[in-house]
Structure 1
Amino acid sequence: MFPYLLLGLLLGTCCCSNEDSMKLGRPELSGPSLAVVKDIITFNCLLSIYPKNETILLELFKEGNRDKLLGFYSSSTASFPLIVKTSHEGNLECVARAQNNSHVEPSVSYTHSLKVIEPVAGAEVIIQSGVEELFEGRTLELKCTLTAGNHVSYKWLVNGQPVLQSPLRIIAHDQLFIYRTTSADSGLYMCVATNNYNTTRIFTSNSSEVEITVKDVVSNPAISFKVLKENSNNYFAVVTCQSTRGTLPVTFSLYNSTELAFNVTVEERKVNFKVPLFLDRHLGWLQCQANNGDEVAYSQWLPLQVVSVGGPVMMHYDYDIGQNYAVIGLRLYCKARKGSHPRYQWFLNQTLLQGRGSFYYVVNQPPDQSILLLSVGRSSTGTYHCEVSDIFDNTTAISSNKQYIDKRVLNRLPVSVVAVVFGCFTFLVVLVSACCFVGVLFRRRKMGKESLVSQEMEAFAAYEDDLEISEYCEDNEVVMSARCDEFDWVSKTSEDDAMFVDELADEL
């Protein structure tokens, strides 16, 4: 009896052990995938497979964080209401377990993703590059911060218009970078932060405007001066320092060599300094310096020296020739021997010519020279001269020589040219005549010599003939006596001719 009882207890224990170790099925978790902070949403969890005699506990957790329970329910079916927080974003899971039996292994649902939208709020522009005012060439860096909001898109505006991206303007999420800034980048900047819920609810936060000023660096100033005469003995140099660009105000400083002479801050890019002056003396070197908060800009060095006008005043001209080789235009040049600040004046028949007229144009190039351009014609005929004086003192004018300009005179050959041409022609005629005369004499002499040679040749031939005839005469003395006398007469005549040729040659 006892063995059967023991066997029954063992079988009962085994059955109970198999039932206790039975696993739960996988619960199913469902609910919204998108939610807005502070909204109330519900997640449902359903466990279909579980021991019928067990009480089931369903719990809601965020994946990886079992320490914080989001909801629980004692049933195989549960609904978990949630007041949405940003911390709920992520993967949620439902855990099913036997509430009163620790031997039953719990089961976990597949994760369910939840995206939580927190409406944007409190947008503000922060200047990360430092100050609201900066000089050109620097980098401007702005950041848009929020007091609340996630899944945000940003838009940047300047003076109410969108900031367009470029190689020098980079929008990186909540930051704006502007490289190599210029004054054109100055303006009112603001950021607009936006997020939305299914495009049906759009949340926007606009920051307040921040004024950014990009200053132009002051350019290197130009330096010049003009002379001012207050009375017969007092002269001053009015030194001008001028920059073409740069944000105001600008501080200008004037140095004489290394010594600071003047320093002033003005709301313009030009300033004048009054410096005592002595004529015909070198008073040092001047330099302007300009500064508007960035680097100092420097002008070139300028010698402070004024040389009075001195003579003589020279005037000359050159001309342009037309198609018919007639003079159609003149350029008259006027220059004084010395003078650093000359004033040139042109006169036609003692009438002052200024600027541009119907037939002339005055081109002043102080201190080098002045040029008067003339169109040669009837109206331009007359006597011209120029006068040079100090621009600050017209009581010391020096006049040039006078030049009469007439179209007919300009196109007439000068007497010197005519004399040279006629002289060259006369010399050429005389030279040709002399050559011809020498040629004639040489030809005559040559012909005389040739005649003498021919006479000698004839005499020699006659002599040979006489020899033959004498031989013949000796044999026939009676018959040929008359002929022999003729031959003697011919020989005598030849000798007389030869003597005549020699006398003629000596005379020549």
Structure 2
Amino acid sequence: MFPYLLVGMLLGSCYCSKEGSMTLGRPELSGPSLAMVTDIITFDCLLSIYPKKETILLELFKEGNRDKLLGVYSSSNASFPLIVKASHDGNLECVARVQNNSHVEPSVSYTHNLKVIEPVAGAEVIIQSGAEEFFEGRTLELKCTLTAGNHVSYKWLLNGQPVLQSPLNNVANDHLFINRATSADSGLYMCVATNKYNTTTVFTSNSSEVEITVKDVVSNPAISFKVLKENSNNYFAVVTCQSTRGTLPITFSLYNRTELAFNKTVEERKVNFKVPLDLDRHSGWLQCQANNADEVAYSQRLPLQVVSVGGPVMLRYDYDIGQNYAVIGLRLYCKTRKGSHPRYQWFLNQTLLQGRGSFYYVVNQPPDQSILLLSVGRSSAGTYHCEVSDIFDNTTAMSSNKQYIDKMVLNRLPVSVVAVVFGCFIFLVVLVSACCFLGVLFRGRKSGKESLRSQEMETFAVYEDELEMSEYREDNDVVMSARCDEFDWVSKTSEDEVCGRPADGL
């Protein structure tokens, strides 16, 4: 009896171990891959391998979210009807498990991707960088928000034109960044959100336009002034402060050294201030300041000093020469000794020349000088002079000396030049003549000395010849005497004859 009982226990334990080690096959999930929100679709889940005596439970989940059950069915083959929601977008999975048996491990199908299209709606532009108005140099950040929609593409428009990607413009889907914005970035911004169900069904939502204003920082103003005379004793400086750029309105301030003299806010980039003035006296240093609520811009400092015109008035000229060495153009220069605001005027035969004419051109360079350019010809002949006065007071006019200009006169050599040239020519003639005379005189003396020397040489030569002859005779006598002594003469008479001695008795 005991052996049978032992065998039964062993068989039971084996059966129990088999039951505990039962596994489920992988379920197969199938269904549509694209759906619209609110569509009703069906997913099928089929489990082929499972214990036949067990009840199978099939469940439908969103991958990664087992807390929210999308469908459940007690069978090895299930169909899950589903009312599509936007949250269903993504990967779905089917889980198979043995009902009421925790010893069997559940199995999971491969994921099935479902793309859910929710039409876009409620596009709106949100300014995330702050206010709608700001000054240049800052970053503009806009975001496009939606009340509904997924799988969305975005497009940004400025004044109806697309905003393109650039080093300063960063278009990142629902965000738009504009770095270092300028006034050119001002305008109406809109975002356009789009998604598609298929190639033919397109959904679009346009936001309302948002106006962005980028203000220009005011530029450093330029400062200048002109003098105004109201009566014989009262003078004023009309000071102009002007900026080339800057969003209006602009507040201009005028300082004399550190003291505020005037302050004015205007709807333009230029303003004038009227300041009392004393001539020929330094009245301080002026500076303009401009502000349009962001930064203060400063001009250079300008001395407030006006020097009256004072003489003398100097007139000079230089000229251009053509190919035939004739004067073809003149430049007349007029300059006064002092004066900070001079006015130059040119006259030809007492007729005022202004601007440009057929043969002249007036070039004013106050306060330094004025230049009159002339083409030399028949029409330009005449007497020229210039007058200088304070630009704010005609009663101070002073005149230069007068200069007569004529083509024949200009091309005629001056008397001084002719005299110098003629004098140089005479000097050269005299110098050459003197050289010739000295040369002849020197040559005559040299020839006389050479004659005397030749005579002396000739005399010396004759003397040498005679001396040589006498020496020859003497030598010949010595030789003959020696020969007479050497010879053995046979006859005394013949010896005497040969040696030239006289015979005895002669």
- Report the TM range for the smaller structure's normalisation: 0.7 to 0.9
| Aligned counterparts of 1:261 and 1:316: Cα–Cα separation in 2 | 44
Instruction: Look up the SS of the partner of 1:424 in the other structure.
Output: helix
Change beyond 3 A, Cα 1:85–1:430: same
Q: How far did 1:128 drift?
A: 2.2
| Matching of residue 368 in structure 1 with residue 368 in structure 2 | yes
Deviation of the 1:105 alpha carbon: 5.1
C-alpha distance in structure 2 between counterparts of 1:417 and 1:12, whole Å = 149
- CA distance in 2 between counterparts of 1:395 and 1:26 reads 114
2:372 and 2:287 map into 1 onto residues whose CA distance is 35
**Following TM superposition, by how much is the alpha carbon of 1:450 offset from its aligned partner in structure 2, in angstroms?**
5.0
The Cα of 1:145 is off from its aligned counterpart by 2.1
Structure 2 residue 344 is matched with structure 1 residue 344 = yes
Q: Confirm or deny that 1:84 pairs with 2:84.
A: yes
Q: CA deviation at 1:232?
A: 0.2
Q: Which moved more, 1:167-176 or 1:416-425?
A: 167-176
2:419 counterpart letter in structure 1: A
**Structure 2 CA distance for partners of 1:404 and 1:15, relative to 1, 3 Å:** closer
Compared with structure 1, are the counterparts of its residues 346 and 461 closer, same or farther at alpha carbon in structure 2 (3 Å cutoff)?
same
Distance 1:23 1:114 in 2: 29
Q: Judge which range, 233-242 or 256-265, deviates more.
A: 256-265
Which sections of structure 2, spanning at least 5 residues, go unmatched? 468-506
Q: 1:402, CA displacement in angstroms?
A: 0.7
In structure 2, what is the equivalent of residue 302 of structure 1? 302
For residue 87 of structure 1, give the secondary structure of its aligned residue in structure 2: helix
**Corresponding residue for residue 471 of structure 1:** none
Shift, 1:343, TM fit: 0.7
Deviation at 1:132, TM superposition (A): 1.8
Aligned to 2:123: 123
- Partner Cα separation in structure 2 for residue 374 and residue 13 of structure 1: 131
Structure 1 residues 51 and 235, CA gap change in structure 2 (3 angstroms): same
| Structure 1 range deviating more: 190-199 or 330-339 | 190-199
Displacement of 1:8 = 8.1
| Separation in structure 1 between the aligned mates of residue 461 and residue 113 of structure 2, nearest angstrom | 155
The alpha carbon displacement at 1:462 in A equals: 9.6
C-alpha displacement of 1:158: 0.7
Find the counterpart in structure 2 of residue 179 from structure 1. Answer: 179
What secondary structure is seen at the aligned counterpart in 1 of 2:271?
A: strand
2:318 aligned counterpart, secondary structure:
strand
Match of 2:304, SS? strand
Distance 1:52 1:456 in 2: 171
Q: Distance in 2 between matches of 1:59 and 1:460?
A: 162
Percent identity over the alignment?
A: 89
Determine the C-alpha separation between the residues in 2 that align with 1:428 and 1:444: 24
Cross-structure match for 2:476:
none
1:49 Cα offset (Å): 4.2
Distance in 2, matches of 1:205 and 1:36, equals 17
Aligned to 2:387: 387
Provide the C-alpha distance between the structure 2 equivalents of 1:97 and 1:28, rounded to a whole number of angstroms: 14
Deviations 1:82-132, CA, capped at 9 Å, x for gaps: 222333333323233444555655443333222333332322222222222
Q: Which residue in the other structure is 1:479 paired with?
A: none
Aligned equivalent of 1:58: 58
* 2:302 corresponds to 1:313: no
1:357 CA displacement: 1.1
CA distance in structure 2 between the partners assigned to 1:120 and 1:58 by the alignment: 35
Letter in 1 for 2:253: S
How far has the Cα of 1:447 moved from its partner? 4.6
1:40 matched to 2:34 = no
1:251 matched to 2:262: no
Distance 1:358 1:194 in 2: 70
Q: What's 2:159 paired with?
A: 159
In the aligned structure 1, how far is the partner of 2:203 from the partner of 2:162?
Answer: 19
Query: SS of the residue aligned with 2:323?
Result: coil
Q: Secondary structure at the match of 2:290?
A: strand
Residue identity in the other structure for 2:135: F
**Once the two structures are superposed, what CA deviation does each residue of 1:261-304 show, in whole Å capped at 9, x if it has no partner?**
11111111111111111111111111112222333222222111
Structure-to-structure mapping, 1:11-410, within 5 angstroms: 22-99=22-99, 106-410=106-410
Distance (Å, rounded) in 1 between the aligned partners of 2:183 and 2:216: 6
CA drift of 1:173 comes to 2.0
SS in structure 1 of the partner of residue 195 of structure 2: strand
Distance 2:194 2:457 in 1: 140
Count of residues in Structure 1 that have an aligned counterpart in Structure 2: 468
Matches of 1:348 and 1:273, distance apart in 2: 39
Distance in 2, Cα, partners of 1:100 & 1:424: 142
- AA of the residue aligned to 1:108: V
Matched residues in 2 for 1:183 and 1:312: separation? 54
**d(CA) in 2 for partners of 1:22, 1:444:** 157
For residues 170 and 238 of structure 1, what CA distance do their matches in structure 2 show? 49
Structure 2 CA distance for partners of 1:316 and 1:73, relative to 1, 3 Å: same
Residue 435, structure 1, aligned to residue 435, structure 2: yes
In structure 1, C-alpha distance between the alignment counterparts of 2:68 and 2:276, rounded to whole Å = 89
Q: 1:256 and 1:321 mapped to 2: Cα distance?
A: 52
1:283 counterpart SS class: coil
Unaligned runs of 5+ in 1: 468-508
- Alignment partners' CA distance in 2, 1:69 and 1:321: 106
Letter aligned with residue 91 of structure 2: N
In 2: Cα distance, 1:464 partner to 1:22 partner: 167
Q: 1:43 to 1:403 in 2, by over 3 A?
A: same
* 1:435, distance to aligned residue in structure 2 (A): 2.9
Alpha-carbon distance in structure 2 between the residues aligned to 1:351 and 1:430: 53
Tell me the SS of whatever aligns to 2:220: coil
